[in-house]
Amino acid sequence: MSAASPTHALLLATLLFAVGMLGVLARRNLLLMLMSIEIMLNAAALAFIAAGARWHAAQGQVMFLMILSLAAAEAAVGLAIILRLHSAGRPTLDADTGNRLKG
Amino acid sequence: MSDLPFILFSLVAAWAAIMVVTRAVAVHALLYLVVVPLSLAGVFFTLGAPFAAMLEVIIYAGAVMVLFVFVVMMLNLGRSDRDRERHWMAPAVWIGPALLSGLLLIALCITLRTIPPTAASDAMVPIGPQSVGLLLYGPYVLSVELASFLLLAGLVSAFHIGRNIRGTGTGEP
Amino acid sequence: MNALLLPLIVACPLLAAGVLFLSAGRMPPLPSCVIGAGSVGLSALMAAVLAIGFLRTPPPTGALHATLWSWMQVEGFSARIAFMLDPLSLVMMLIVTGVGFLILLYACGYMHDDPDIARFFGCMTLFVAAMLVLVFSSDLLSLYIGWEGVGICSYLLISFWHADTANVTAARKAFIVTRIGDAAMLCGLLLLATRAGTLDVASVLQTVTARPADLQAAIAAFLLLGGAVAKSAQVPLQTWLPDAMAGPTPVSALIHAATMVTAGVYLIARLHPLFASLPVAMTAVALIGLITLLLAAGSALVQTDIKRILAYSTMSQIGYMFLALGTGAWQAAIFHLVTHAFFKALLFMAAGAIILRVHHRQDIYQMGGLAHAMPGVFAAFLAGSAALAGLPLLTAGFYSKEMILQGAWHADPMLWAGALLGAFATAIYIFRCVFIVFFGPRHTEPHGRTGATMAIPLVCLAVLALTGGWMGMPDAIAPVHLLSHLLSPLFGASMPEGPHWLLWAGSLVPLAGIGVAWMLWQPRTRTRTPPENALARVARAGWDFDTLYDVLIVRPFTTLGQLNQSDICDRLSDATAATARAGGRMLGRMQSGQVRRYAGWIAAGTVVALCLGVRP
């Protein structure tokens, strides 16, 4: 097996997290924001895996499973909301108009 | 050069993530987004977590991404959406978020330096599904239940939100 | 028993005022009159009973005391609501209730068709109650309550016809000018309180007399004098009184002639040991009195409005009282206060009767020849004028003024000469008014009749104005000293009388004045038009004190106010408001409802937390 350094993996996780956050903050399209959140979740998952590998513990993968279910639920609900908004007359999916709450 | 696959997968994942964030067309972003879990699965594998790598491929790249693909299909996006997206992505918009993200990156990197390095001789021992399963149905059974509740809640709310889309059109006056 | 009557006398009009005010103006005229005049009449009755009891069996200490309650009791200071009846307050009580009752009776006739009669009587009875508190108080703090009470009633009644802006302006002027004095007086009272630890009159005076007079006492005396000067419309705070004639005539008679304006005299008489121990203050009082009596008499000579003539005359007569106070002739001051209350109330009420019957005209040059049309009113006005002028032997004013002149002679012949000049002018201006109003060609045809409710008080006061002086005669005529004897426990023995020729001078000067007035304004002369030279104009405007104050005080003050509109204090409070507003706006902007901003804040918070955690 290869001997990748868990520290480097954590570095990658950090980078992915920062990029995801950049996407969440900078993009106005709800769909793209959701995708960026997926990247952030992936980064978190990677951090757990790397930590598990660093300390030879299976708990890292347990937490990974938790994150996985969380991501699945989040994607389902988030995409449902997006579809709903789209069909309710907001085809632009502009996140900044979310404060209008209506129409 | 046993680190090569790790470095390769890492570069691909980072590159794909950056592409996701910067694409104007949703489908392009989505395609790059598929690459991220796939390459991360490779990273997991190199980290000695084959079970996690499999799940990543199956659930993320398989299930969640397909969900995204369906939604993008239903949104019926066109050229105007791309132009609007370009307009929204003016350079000035990126300054604040980039600053924040950069700061976060720096802060996290400094934190990482406090982790004591692994001994170079310490070979990466893979952690198989068996040990994970034993943990899941041992001390972590409660969190499994919680995860199942979470999924159930997600299911119910997704169903509830999407309930009226066909029926009354907008569902609002 | 007697001490119990004391608060009852006050409570009666106070209760009436409460009833009248609570009726919210819905009480019809007759019950308003009955309640208003009746309550004061009841007070007058009780006052008479009390006075007879007091005179028949004087209390051993010389005064009746009734402490109602202890107002405040702190370390080093105590104040009570306490009433006291001594000879001085006995005299004042009889004036306030007796003359007050007659004037309220008169007001029933005068005001009977006014829609706001309930409010009128409410204010009047409240005034009587406040005035009684003022004269009864044995504690200077409760005296101050009465003092402010009469001030506010005066304000309410001057602006009684508040639909007219001029009336309201006059009321405001009266209130503000007297307020200046009241503020000074309060300072003086507090200064006295720091010396004595109490404001009980007896204790205060004891403290004052126990120690030699020092600067603090002098300052306190002058501050109190400021209050008295403002209330009694003396120079330099006299400008409000002529304008106060904007109120109904009974108000002018009761408040601005008989009672409230003499409160300053009462105050100084009440605290006479304090003033007597300070020669400077005494001189100041005498000079203020002399200057006021001469200036006001000069103004009265050229007025055309009958009520303003009487207003300036009131100022002038109170000037006499101040002169008497300043020369230490306390009895003379109180004596003149009494007789003045009689004849000036009479003059005002007679003037009111005239005004009612000549279609509410007040210009004397528009009247003329009224003697035949209203002989009763003419007789009453003549009696009042004679008393005011001090017609010898016959009238009350002669005796009291004579006493003042004697006192002035003893203090300084110059003061005496000034007072005599004032008496001369008094006779001229009031008989000018008589000759112009009642003789010569008629300019306005009078209508109606003077009703009984107005006539009876006129008769009573006319009798009093003529005979009221017999309670204090010079020895040269008859050794009668009823009032002086009554007041002597308080003020000490009265002064010895001067040479006989003083009496002759005091008798002849008014006669000479009447003669001059006859020469100038008899029906056949051509001077029966308002004088129009520059001096007359200045004098008619009250020697232009208003303009002077406007230029000296009001305008600089308003200019300063305008300049100072946004001073540092304003800036401070504005800055507080601006900070709060900006902070609110900033925090409000955070709650924009935009999910990306929320995410941004979360990220920023995370970064900060991480940075804090990372710091080694």
Q: Is the pLDDT of residue B118 over 90?
A: no
pLDDT at B110: 84
pLDDT at C116: 87
Query: Which residue is it, tokens 């005796």?
Result: C399
Q: Is the pLDDT of residue C526 over 70?
A: no
Q: Are residue B43 and residue B112 in the same domain, yes or no?
A: yes
Share of chain B above pLDDT 70, in %: 88
Q: Are residue B158 and residue B89 in the same domain, yes or no?
A: no
Q: Which string of DSSP letters, residue by residue, matches C214-279?
A: -HHHHHHHHHHHHHHHHHTT-TTS-THHHHGGGS-HHHHHIIIIISGGGHHHHHHHHTHHHHHT-H
Q: Is the pLDDT of residue C482 over 70?
A: yes
Q: Indicate the DSSP class of residue C495.
A: P
Q: Which string of DSSP letters, residue by residue, matches C4-24?
A: HHHHHHHHHHHHHHHHHHHTT
Instruction: Please tell me which residue, C448 or B64, carries the higher pLDDT value.
Output: B64
Q: Are residue B105 and residue B149 in the same domain, yes or no?
A: no
Rounded distance between C-alpha atoms, residue C256 and residue B145, angstroms: 95
Q: Is the pLDDT of residue B1 over 50?
A: no
Q: How far is CA A78 from CA B149, C402, C423, C426, in A?
A: 17, 108, 105, 102
What residue of A is the nearest CA neighbor of B56? A68
Q: Is the pLDDT of residue B134 over 50?
A: yes
Please give the structure tokens belonging to residue A42.
Answer: 């992936």
Mean pLDDT, chain C, as a whole number?
Answer: 88
Parallel, antiparallel, or unpaired for β C77-85 and C64-74? antiparallel
pLDDT at A67: 93
pLDDT at B2: 65
What residue of C is the nearest CA neighbor of A98? C594
Share of chain C above pLDDT 90, in %: 39
Q: Is the pLDDT of residue B173 over 90?
A: no
Q: Are residue B101 and residue B146 in the same domain, yes or no?
A: no
Average pLDDT of span B67-82 = 85
Mutation pick from A81, A82, A96 vs chain C, by most beta carbons of C within 10 Å, is: A96
Cross-chain CB nearest to A49 (options B2, B14, B49): B49
Cross-chain CB nearest to C603 (options B100, B108, B111): B100
Average pLDDT of span C74-78 = 79
pLDDT at A3: 47
Number of compact structural domains in chain B: 2
pLDDT at C616: 57
Query: Could you tell me the pLDDT band of residue A101, with boundaries at 50, 70 and 90?
Result: low
Radius of gyration of chain A measured on its C-alpha atoms: 17
Q: Maximum CA pair distance of chain A? A: 56
Q: Is residue B160 part of a domain?
A: yes
Q: Are residue B111 and residue B153 in the same domain, yes or no?
A: no
Question: A24 — contact with chain C (CB < 8 Å)?
Answer: yes
Query: Could you tell me the pLDDT band of residue A1, with boundaries at 50, 70 and 90?
Result: very low
In 3D space, the residue among C314, C324, C374, C318 whose CA is nearest the CA of residue C348 turns out to be: C314
Mutation pick from B93, B94, B100, B105 vs chain C, by most beta carbons of C within 10 Å, is: B100
Question: C604 — contact with chain B (CB < 8 Å)?
Answer: yes
Q: Please name the residues between 125 and 144 in chain B that touch chain A, using a CB distance below 8 Å.
A: 125-127, 131-132, 134-136, 140, 143
Q: Is the pLDDT of residue C498 over 80?
A: no
Cross-chain CB nearest to A77 (options B23, B105, B158): B158
Q: Is the pLDDT of residue C603 over 60?
A: yes
Q: Are residue B8 and residue B66 in the same domain, yes or no?
A: yes
Helix (H, G, I), strand (E, B) or coil at C68: strand
Contact list, C607 vs chain B (CB under 8 Å): 100, 103-104, 107
**Which amino acid does the sequence have at C439?**
F
Q: Are residue B92 and residue B149 in the same domain, yes or no?
A: no
Q: Please name the residues between 10 and 69 in chain A that touch chain B, using a CB distance below 8 Å.
A: 10-12, 14-29, 31-32, 34-36, 38-39, 42, 45-46, 49-50, 52-54, 56-62, 64-66, 68-69
In 3D space, the residue among C349, C184, C320, C332 whose CA is nearest the CA of residue C261 turns out to be: C320
Query: Domain range spanning residue B71?
Result: 4-116+123-128
| Side-chain-facing half-sphere of C234: CA atoms under 13 Å | 30
Q: Is the pLDDT of residue A103 over 80?
A: no
Catalogue all structural domains in chain A, each as residue range(s) with its CATH number.
7-90 (1.10.287.3510)
- List CB contacts of C15: < 8 A, sequence separation 6 or more: C39
For chain C, the distance separating the N- and C-terminal CA atoms, rounded to the nearest angstrom, is 91
Q: Is residue B23 part of a domain?
A: yes
Share of chain A above pLDDT 70, in %: 90
Average pLDDT of span B123-146 = 86
Query: Could you tell me the pLDDT band of residue A2, with boundaries at 50, 70 and 90?
Result: very low
Contact A28, B86 (CB under 8 A): no
Instruction: Please tell me which residue, C271 or C478, carries the higher pLDDT value.
Output: C271
Partners of residue A29 on adjacent β-strands: A94
Q: Is the pLDDT of residue C571 over 90?
A: no
Question: B103 — contact with chain C (CB < 8 Å)?
Answer: yes
Q: Are residue B165 and residue B112 in the same domain, yes or no?
A: no
Q: Is the pLDDT of residue B171 over 50?
A: no
Q: Are residue B167 and residue B99 in the same domain, yes or no?
A: no
Query: Could you tell me the pLDDT band of residue C1, with boundaries at 50, 70 and 90?
Result: low
Q: Is residue B133 part of a domain?
A: no
Query: Could you tell me the pLDDT band of residue C615, with boundaries at 50, 70 and 90?
Result: low
**Which amino acid does the sequence have at A41?**
L
Share of chain C above pLDDT 70, in %: 99
**CATH classification of the domain holding B84:** 1.20.120.1200
Instruction: Please tell me which residue, B106 or C529, carries the higher pLDDT value.
Output: B106
Mutation pick from A39, A99, A100, A101 vs chain C, by most beta carbons of C within 10 Å, is: A99
In 3D space, the residue among C62, C56, C107, C112 whose CA is nearest the CA of residue C85 turns out to be: C62
Please give the structure tokens belonging to residue C465.
Answer: 């104005």
Average pLDDT of span C125-129 = 94
**Which amino acid does the sequence have at B14?**
A
pLDDT at B18: 93
Nearest CA-CA distance, residue C584 and chain B, Å: 24
Cross-chain CB nearest to A42 (options B30, B40, B105): B40
Share of chain B above pLDDT 90, in %: 35
Q: Are residue B112 and residue B145 in the same domain, yes or no?
A: no
**Which amino acid does the sequence have at A7?**
T
Q: What does the pLDDT look like over A38-97, one tens digit per residue?
A: 999 999 999 999 988 888 888 999 999 999 999 999 999 999 888 888 887 777 778 777
Q: What does the pLDDT look like over C194-209, one tens digit per residue?
A: 888 888 888 888 888 8
Q: What does the pLDDT look like over C365-398, one tens digit per residue?
A: 888 788 888 888 999 999 999 999 988 888 888 8
Mutation pick from B93, B103, B114 vs chain C, by most beta carbons of C within 10 Å, is: B103
Do the chains contact at B26 and A6, CB–CB below 8 Å? no
Do the chains contact at C603 and B104, CB–CB below 8 Å? yes
Q: Are residue B15 and residue B97 in the same domain, yes or no?
A: yes
pLDDT at C396: 87
Q: Is the pLDDT of residue B167 over 60?
A: no
Average pLDDT of span B33-39 = 93
Instruction: Please tell me which residue, A63 or A4, carries the higher pLDDT value.
Output: A63
Do the chains contact at A75 and B47, CB–CB below 8 Å? no
Q: How far is CA C451 from CA B128, C353, C376, in A?
A: 123, 9, 11
Q: Answer yes or no: is the ipTM higher than 0.90.
A: no
Q: Are residue B89 and residue B22 in the same domain, yes or no?
A: yes
